[in-house]
Structure 1
Amino acid sequence: MNPLPSSLADWRFDGELRTYQSEVLEQIPAAPADAAMHIVAPPGSGKTLLGLLLAAREGRRTLVLTPTVTIRQQWVRTARDLATDDAQVSDDPANLADLTVLTYQLLSVTGDSSPFDDLARAQWTEQLVEAGRTEADAATWLATLAVDNRAQYRRGIRKRSAGLRRRFAQTRPESLARVLHPNALALIDRIVDAGVDTIVLDECHHLLDHWAIVVAYLRARIRERGCTGLLIGLTATLPSADDGTGFENYTQLLGEVDYEVPTPAVVKEGHLAPYRAHVWFTEPVPQEAHFIRRSEAQLHELMVQVLSTPDGVSYLHDQLQPAAATTDAETADADAPTPPPAPALPPEESARRGIDRALSADFTLARACGAVLRAAAPRHPLCALLDPQLFTRASTDDLLLVLARFALNRLLRNPAARDQWRYVKGALADFGLHLTDRGIRRGRNPLETTLATSIAKDHATIDILRHELRSADGERIRAVVVTDVVEAGDNRGLTGGAAPGALRVFDLLASDPETAALCPVLLTAQHLRTTAADADAVAQALERALGSAVEVEEGFGATRVLRVPGFGGGRLVAAVSHLVTDGRVRVLVGTRGLLGEGWDCPAVNTLIDLTSVASSVSTQQLRGRTLRLDPAWAQKVAHNWSVVCLIPPHVELDSDAELDRLRRRHSHLWGLSADDHTRVITGLDAALDRGTRDLLDRLIAKDPATSIDALNQAVLAGIRSRSQTHADWRIGQPYTARERDVVAVRSPHRTALVQVLPAVAVGAPTLFLLGALASGGLTAVASGALEWNLPLAAGAGIALGGGAVVALGRRIPELIRGLRRRRDPSLVYRETARLVSRALQDAGRIPFLPDTAVEVDRQREPDGSTRLRLVFEGPARVRQLLADAVQELFGPVRTPRFLLRIASARRPDAYLAVPQQIGRRRADAEHFAALWQDAIGPCELIELQGEEGLVVLRAARAQSGQLEGSGARTTLWG
């Protein structure tokens, strides 16, 4: 069956397309062979118009699916601007038109009595029977639970239903008809019968599990009627491969990305506002600090009582001194001669080799045991042999890891240690570790929760707003403060304070005179509040916008509750957003569920992110709220703030959760470099300059000379004005839309890689001998032919001189190259990266790359040091693999199979780990060493085997590596 005729082909856009919109229309062919178009573009970049133009180009009846009603309304408005008649566009599922816009939920509803819930109840019954109940008893117990504790019953059903949905999503799409609500099936029938042949999937990153299968089913039904079922997927953020089956469903539908519009390109073309990323650091307030101090004391007491005992110290010793491997007598060749016994090693060297074996067997555990031994028994003989650079301060994670392993390996096996096992088990539970006889399971860590929901972050919101208000553009500030929830269910056992969430931070803003003057408003799905001073004015403004009465409730201290009878979320959100645009409200507080994806308020220019999100989808959607152009401020610049709560240096307890979240969050975001304001990069370097990052590293390392206040002063000192940021983006200037991976290395002036004489000396003796013999022979022939009577000494001198000339002449190019490297050490790093590329190509790991795909950028720092950035171009997967290999080569040595040793006459030998992708096969590693020998200079390839290999590995691990450290890896755009 051919699709019904449609007049979408007559739709016209009379405006001017953006560069990337034109490129998409030119580069993605109509009616692609795989019947799918997959486009990634940031919020505010014009995806709606682009999707409509792609659908109109196909000329077929079209269905647009959106995740929310608000987004659905945006599509309808834009479509009617293009259509020749408003009747061509519909959002009514009972009245389908040439282009119909519906929500995903309309297609995927399963009804009041979901078959998944029925299956979940049956599964629960089976589990109870397996646990020893009769079937009748199990059914009675579930029925009783459903009445006596409905919430717990629903949680159990939801948990099992979710698992069943995920498994069901892996079956054939046609089978989904069994679980869809009859109304959803009837709607799908109408869509197919209406001749829909193009499906536009807005915010298609939502197509995981159930929704993906519904779309696949709809497409299959369309194809059964003889149509194509073209899919046009539009999203600002790709889902993660960590989503497992859901990600597979997504990629099976839409395939690879056909075109990606990077956020910087949209900013440079002037269609999104320029922006900066900032970070504000804080530390727990006294009540929270008391809880953390109590945890610190508990952990210290646990270490003293368990690991400082003779049994604990014995365990640490045994972990660091595993037995050497011995030949199994039963499998040894009886006819083979017995090898002579190895000479006995001095006790100290024997102990060092034991440590080497432990690191090779389980690097993480051995390093943690060494660090803990230094803390628990600093006078133990092994401590003198532990390299402080490797066995650093025992972190909280080190202690918890060692305590858990000790409990499993020593206490659980000993019936007499049952009480101690229970003591350790209970103590570890306080840190979110559940110790069982099957191993360790991570649960909710109260320490991490305390930091994530600290009230200090709410106070940081006031600090940030004060700073923004005192800037040159303070009068233009329109801020949104976003939290995870309205009010968290628990406050970590702390008493006397409000629960974390939007309500708590709003109350704080309303009680501070400076922020209360901004007329803050709290807006969530169930709450609308403002200050007592502004309540009447806000209520009147909302009445005018909504055309309905707004009630002000009395008796809430500094705040008032506003009631808007009969209004749903969409219109109320739009009305409050209008107050922000007008400047009546300058601070809006809410949750990411309402003020995240789909919320549109172009006047907002400051985001204060108090959420715990770090995924690519959530992070980019939230940051996108501030990037829309503001018609009232042509020079708008957005500031996006992350707030991080850290344990101060004077507290020995550690928690990496906040900093890890910050780093993961910024790894998804493009931004201007804080060091070089002309570069667009990803990573924390876009928020913190090098000096601030170094200070942060020192603070995390518990340097007593650092503090949170000093860190924030460094942050403030590095902030550029909004006008400077606007100029830094160089909007309207030409740009190259490309991505490159970058690996930064430290100042190279004193590295053993830069050599002159050793490179020249390779093969010199042989060349000298050959040159001397040749010169001597020519001299003898010439003297005989010309009847010269040369003295013996003169002939020998001529021979030796000739040998020197030949040897030196053959080495002049190497000498010149070595001198150039000495003058500009960056050359050797570029050559090294290029030979890594060639080795990977020759090993078949990556396709061919020209030498120009690897470049080096040299930058002089204010302190006189040199910073090198190795820059890699090419397809994303290829350049990332190459950058990974170079980062491994120059990074700290851990557990490689092969090492390169570079000898130096004046400095200790340098050791480099042969990258894993090259060291998989011996032949590839040997080829890499040969390339090094030719391009860089003398080296020795060492395969780390046996006791001797451990000795070499020990020396290699003692080196810190060539990487810059914090900020060593990033991605560069442009």
Structure 2
Amino acid sequence: MSHDFPEIRFQGQLRPSQADAVKIARRKLAAGQRRLHIVAPPGSGKTVLGLFLWSDCVRLPALVLSPNSAIQAQWADKIELFSAAGTEPHLVSTDSDQPALLTSLTYQSVTLPGRGGADDEGPAIELWQDKLIEAGQAKDPQEAAVWIEDLRRHNRSYYEQRMRGYRKQIRDAASLAGGSLELLHASSLRTLQRLKERGVGLIILDECHHLLGHWGRVLADAHELLDQPVVIGLTATPPDREGKRPEDIQRYDEFFGEVDYEVPVPAVVKDGFLAPSQDLAYFVRPTREELTFIANADEQLHELVAELCRPVETDEAARQVDVALDAQSSTPARRASPDFSSGADRASPVRYRTPVVGETTTSRMGNGGPASADRIAARAGTGGAGGSGASSDETSTGEPLSDWLLQVLIQRRLPTGVVKDWDSFQKRDPTFALAARAFLLRRGHELPPQVPPPETDVGPEEYPEMALLTPVLDRYVRHHLRRSADAAHRQLAEQVVRRLRMLGVQITETGAQACASPVARVMAYSQSKTEALVPILSAELQLLGERLRAVVVADFEKTSAVSAEVEHLLDAEAGGAIAAFKQLIRHPHTDALQPILVTGSSVLVDDDLAPAFDEAAQQWLVQEGYEVELEFGEEDGFHVICGKGSDWCPRVYVALITDLFQAGLTKCLVGTRGLLGEGWDASKINVLIDLTTVTTSMTVNQLRGRSIRLDADDPQKLANNWDVVCIAPEFSKGLDDYLRFIAKHSTLFGITDDGAIEKGVGHVHPAFTELKPEGLEGSTSLLNTEMLTRAGRRDEVRELWKIGQPYSAEPIRALEASPLGGSGGFPPFKGAREQWNDASLALAIGKAVLLSLCDAELLGHPGMLHVGQRSGGYVRMFLEEARDEEAALFTQALHEVLGPLDRPRYVITRSVHAARDTWLSMILPAFVGRYFQRRELRRVMLHAVPSVLARNKDLVAVFEAHWNRYVSPGEALYAHHGPGKELIAQARRQGWASKARVHEKEIFL
């Protein structure tokens, strides 16, 4: 560190999160670490933090690099918050020609590539020639050269366009090889040399998630040129790695290393430096026409699966399948439930017996049905380890899908060979092992004894259909049909590939992967989603009145090219910002918001607003010193704004419209995520409606960051962030948009209705799980009503955030369950006056489990049991102030007690006192008559004894004692045979086996 560095002091006080980051940075710098990686949300004070680390910790001349000039200027402006002792004539500079103690520049200024130089022209032309030869457009380099030269002379603009592309490929190859500095423009090289001469000892890379490409390659090499200064990477979110080069990802990870400190959004909200928010969701169904299209695609797939489950013996049969499937036209727009089966296949469940090692094939032949145990076992060989029959490369013999799956499971056959036991099979391919069993169970088959049932809390019918079909059909096509000697089977394989592609699955040589899906596109850009803007914004307007500042964000101004399959449903505007804008101006409630659309190429203004907009815009342009003449092109219900003059550009008109929005000239902006995302700020936003399809952490967090800026004029601000989700759960791809919604929230923190902070979609509603929305298929209107009601509870939600109170970054393990079942009736104890409800019952069961674990000396410091009620009938339970390993043990034990029976070792019954009327209770007034009711003991539920307490009879006795004291009289029975096993069968037949949906989560307090 330099002794000549002046004393520079921060004139304010660091926020708690900033102070924590500084503490960690000091420790790591003292230990010799020269690279720091800090993640902090927009509005958390990254700029001040970076300046403090520079002035107080590193104390060396610094270079700050930012992705644009606006952020570059922020660094220079924030230096005013610091005071320098003595005189320092060049404390800060934004001029690359005059570096200062702190030099703030853009990434472009030091990474600008040389353009059109002779050095890369030759290699670029050679690459172009190679591409022409490879594509069959030229037979040799000479012929390709003639074609290129002819293009240069007759179509110069296209020639230059193609040359820019090939030059970039040459530069990329060189920079990936470590030669990026040699490709830089002379001005960038001069800038780097001046910075080296200035003695730069620190580089601060702001929004460093942008460095997964050319910028990152150059800076990795420039770091060496500048004698390896200290590096601080600052970003609001980790980078989006999808589609990036592996070399770039590896270099980024090596350059920055692990994240040293991450500032969670809730911590900044609780500190009072970001506005609180709540996440809400509005659910819609596709339109009738869209549903018909989705149903047709679905039905064609199910018809194909039905064919796969019946033998196809000849080429003619395959041809008939092909004709039948392609001839389908319209189908009903709704099915009762997706089971990818024909009724005949489900009508006759098949039972299996375990093949005996050494038993002859003949002795196992029988008269079973289409997939009888004997026939399957005969094909499968002995069923012992290694089997005697099928190898991984056996020739297909034409088994129907269900038969083939059973063979694979019985033999434990992987693509690479047969494994010795089931655990090995499941470990090697857990996705297929689960999907194959669930597929068979959903078709009415029973699994053979040597194939264990799926170990999950949900039944096979709960899984999304495509999650089961994709791995099953992928394996069947690649390892059975395509390898068949029969052309009919190979033709059927192509049918499967085509049908799956329609639903977004591409079967390649190496496996199944996601691809563009016409059905998914219809769901994502459904007209119903645009129509949902009206009820949402109408409700928000009624709640906020003149204070409403809403932003609607779409992916694009218009959608990209529409495929032929859906062009009758989706026009060029479907799902885009223009469609949203037109929807708003069509309805009187939302037209009153005076909406404005702003994109990178268009400005549209509601026709009612045009005169006021013209006056306000002219004043702003004059005030800011811009020379622009506005023109208004009149359309149906709106005006298209064009500006004459060199000053008119997106940077200017976005600033103009943002200021008018802040001032209240319009209450609603409609735009694209590219323009209204990273770097755009409008502090008064209190409603954000997200119509985008993006799910990457980087973009989602940047978008959500727009609405949580503090508003100086509204200290009680709470932003409502809305997602609009299109669902049709009865169809194979009907939850695609819901799964996209899940992915969006996977990295988002939010406040829940019981005051906890939760990461993931559960903070929006407890019924939203990663698998599917629970119990909502027929009640979207009720859910939407609840969400619109919650929108008006801003004060209550703000209280739940507990702003000003400390935030613990340590997660707490929690359990959520619904419905508990049998929660009515009275506790079966003398003197019980209040009936069980979900919360009181959960508390009693939780207490029995907790005290049992303590008495068994499995818990040392258990903490305090907390039980809270959530919306939708869910109950949340967790231990406060417990060690993580003890909280994990308690959570697992409670999960086993409350969840569905999954091969428990011991079970125990739960009973309640049910009130029965007498003749006297019926004739007396209710408040008196209840004292004359009789109570009788009624068994209502069968529960598992937690496995950790079922290891031996002594532990079982401990649990039984606490269960009898706090929950219900009952005897714990061994469940693997005898009365206990019979009791489980009875409970399942009579409906008192638990069907609770149980989820383990991590929350923050």
Specify if TM > 0.5: yes
Mapped pair 1:214 → 2:214: no
State the match for 2:189 in structure 1: 185
Give the superposition deviation at 1:285.
Answer: 2.0
Unaligned runs of 5+ in 2: 314-340, 346-368, 390-405, 414-421, 824-840, 911-940, 962-971, 977-983
The answer as to whether partners of 1:739 and 1:873 remain within 8 angstroms in 2 is no
Q: Which one of the candidate residues 493, 501, 506 is aligned to 1:434?
A: 506
How many corresponding residue pairs?
829
Distance 2:407 2:844 in 1: 39
Give the superposition deviation at 1:750.
Answer: 9.2
Mapped pair 1:633 → 2:653: no
Q: Map Cα deviations across residues 729-760 of structure 1 (whole Å, 9 max, x no partner).
A: 23234554543343435688999xxxxxxxxx
State the match for 2:606 in structure 1: 531
Question: Quick one: percent identity of the two aligned structures?
Answer: 28
State the match for 2:46 in structure 1: 47
Q: Which one of the candidate residues 227, 234, 237 is aligned to 1:223?
A: 227
Give the superposition deviation at 1:541.
Answer: 1.5
Give the superposition deviation at 1:487.
Answer: 1.5
Change (3 A) 1:61 1:890: farther
Secondary structure of the structure 1 residue equivalent to 2:70: helix
Distance 2:312 2:146 in 1: 51
Mapped pair 1:197 → 2:228: no
Change (3 A) 1:101 1:517: same
Mapped pair 1:392 → 2:483: no
TM-score (norm 1): 0.72
Matching residue's letter, 1:526: S
The answer as to whether partners of 2:557 and 2:672 remain within 8 angstroms in 1 is yes
State the match for 2:355 in structure 1: none
Change (3 A) 1:393 1:557: same
The answer as to whether partners of 1:479 and 1:587 remain within 8 angstroms in 2 is yes
Give the superposition deviation at 1:941.
Answer: 14
Mapped pair 1:857 → 2:854: no
Change (3 A) 1:389 1:95: closer
Q: Which one of the candidate residues 486, 490, 508 is aligned to 2:561?
A: 490
Distance 1:160 1:954 in 2: 72
Matched ranges for 1:693-732 at <5 A: 696-699=773-776, 706-732=778-804
The answer as to whether partners of 2:383 and 2:411 remain within 8 angstroms in 1 is no
Distance 1:880 1:376 in 2: 39
Mapped pair 1:662 → 2:741: yes
Matching residue's letter, 2:499: A
Mapped pair 1:869 → 2:878: yes
The answer as to whether partners of 2:867 and 2:877 remain within 8 angstroms in 1 is yes
Q: Map Cα deviations across residues 702-749 of structure 1 (whole Å, 9 max, x no partner).
A: xxxx14323312323444522222233232345545433434356889
Q: Which one of the candidate residues 619, 639, 643 is aligned to 1:560?
A: 639
Q: Considering only aligned residues, what root-mean-square deviation do their CA atoms show, in Å?
A: 5.3
Distance 2:559 2:165 in 1: 21
Q: Map Cα deviations across residues 103-153 of structure 1 (whole Å, 9 max, x no partner).
A: 112222223249899878756766776788854278459849988999999
The answer as to whether partners of 1:323 and 1:354 remain within 8 angstroms in 2 is no
Change (3 A) 1:692 1:684: closer
Mapped pair 1:103 → 2:106: yes
Matched ranges for 1:417-816 at <5 A: 417=488, 418-436=490-508, 439-471=511-543, 473-492=544-563, 493-495=566-568, 497-499=571-573, 500-547=575-622, 548-564=627-643, 565-566=645-646, 567-647=648-728, 651-674=730-753, 676=754, 678-689=755-766, 696-699=773-776, 706-744=778-816
Q: Map Cα deviations across residues 212-264 of structure 1 (whole Å, 9 max, x no partner).
A: 3333323322226xxxx122222222347877554543343333434332222
Secondary structure of the structure 2 residue equivalent to 1:303: helix
Per mean C-alpha deviation after superposition, the further-off stretch among 453-462 and 718-727 is: 718-727
Distance 2:206 2:883 in 1: 30
Distance 2:49 2:711 in 1: 21
Matching residue's letter, 2:202: T
The answer as to whether partners of 2:520 and 2:733 remain within 8 angstroms in 1 is no
The answer as to whether partners of 2:280 and 2:720 remain within 8 angstroms in 1 is yes
Give the superposition deviation at 1:203.
Answer: 1.6
Q: Map Cα deviations across residues 254-304 of structure 1 (whole Å, 9 max, x no partner).
A: 334343322222222222112111111112123322321221232233234
Distance 2:247 2:898 in 1: 35
Secondary structure of the structure 1 residue equivalent to 2:227: helix
Mapped pair 1:296 → 2:298: yes
The answer as to whether partners of 1:550 and 1:562 remain within 8 angstroms in 2 is no
Distance 1:607 1:642 in 2: 9
State the match for 2:78 in structure 1: 78
Distance 1:908 1:352 in 2: 35
Change (3 A) 1:865 1:208: closer
State the match for 1:765 in structure 2: none
Q: Map Cα deviations across residues 446-497 of structure 1 (whole Å, 9 max, x no partner).
A: 11121112222211122211110111x2321101111112222223433373
Matching residue's letter, 1:392: E
Distance 2:879 2:156 in 1: 61
TM-score (norm 2): 0.70
The answer as to whether partners of 1:64 and 1:199 remain within 8 angstroms in 2 is yes
State the match for 2:481 in structure 1: 411
The answer as to whether partners of 1:367 and 1:391 remain within 8 angstroms in 2 is no
Matching residue's letter, 2:55: A
Secondary structure of the structure 2 residue equivalent to 1:518: coil
Give the superposition deviation at 1:368.
Answer: 4.6
Change (3 A) 1:511 1:956: same
Secondary structure of the structure 2 residue equivalent to 1:594: coil
Change (3 A) 1:400 1:663: closer
State the match for 1:36 in structure 2: 35
Q: Map Cα deviations across residues 553-606 of structure 1 (whole Å, 9 max, x no partner).
A: 323211211123323333332221111110012111111111111111111111
Q: Which one of the candidate residues 253, 256, 261 is aligned to 2:255?
A: 253
The answer as to whether partners of 2:842 and 2:875 remain within 8 angstroms in 1 is no
Distance 1:390 1:635 in 2: 46
Q: Which one of the candidate residues 826, 833, 844 is aligned to 2:846?
A: 826
Matching residue's letter, 1:136: P
The answer as to whether partners of 1:281 and 1:712 remain within 8 angstroms in 2 is yes
Q: Map Cα deviations across residues 767-803 of structure 1 (whole Å, 9 max, x no partner).
A: xxxxxxxxxxxxxxxxxxxxxxxxxxxxxxxxxxxxx
Give the superposition deviation at 1:642.
Answer: 1.1
Distance 1:955 1:254 in 2: 60
Distance 1:5 1:685 in 2: 54
The answer as to whether partners of 1:166 and 1:245 remain within 8 angstroms in 2 is no
Distance 1:404 1:528 in 2: 47
Q: Map Cα deviations across residues 922-945 of structure 1 (whole Å, 9 max, x no partner).
A: xxx99x9999889979999999xx
Give the superposition deviation at 1:376.
Answer: 7.0
Matching residue's letter, 2:230: L
Per mean C-alpha deviation after superposition, the further-off stretch among 618-627 and 57-66 is: 57-66
The answer as to whether partners of 1:120 and 1:164 remain within 8 angstroms in 2 is no
Distance 2:371 2:157 in 1: 49
The answer as to whether partners of 1:70 and 1:570 remain within 8 angstroms in 2 is no
Matching residue's letter, 2:503: F
Give the superposition deviation at 1:39.
Answer: 2.6
Distance 1:636 1:257 in 2: 31
Matching residue's letter, 2:263: V
Distance 1:157 1:962 in 2: 65
State the match for 1:844 in structure 2: none
Distance 2:507 2:771 in 1: 37
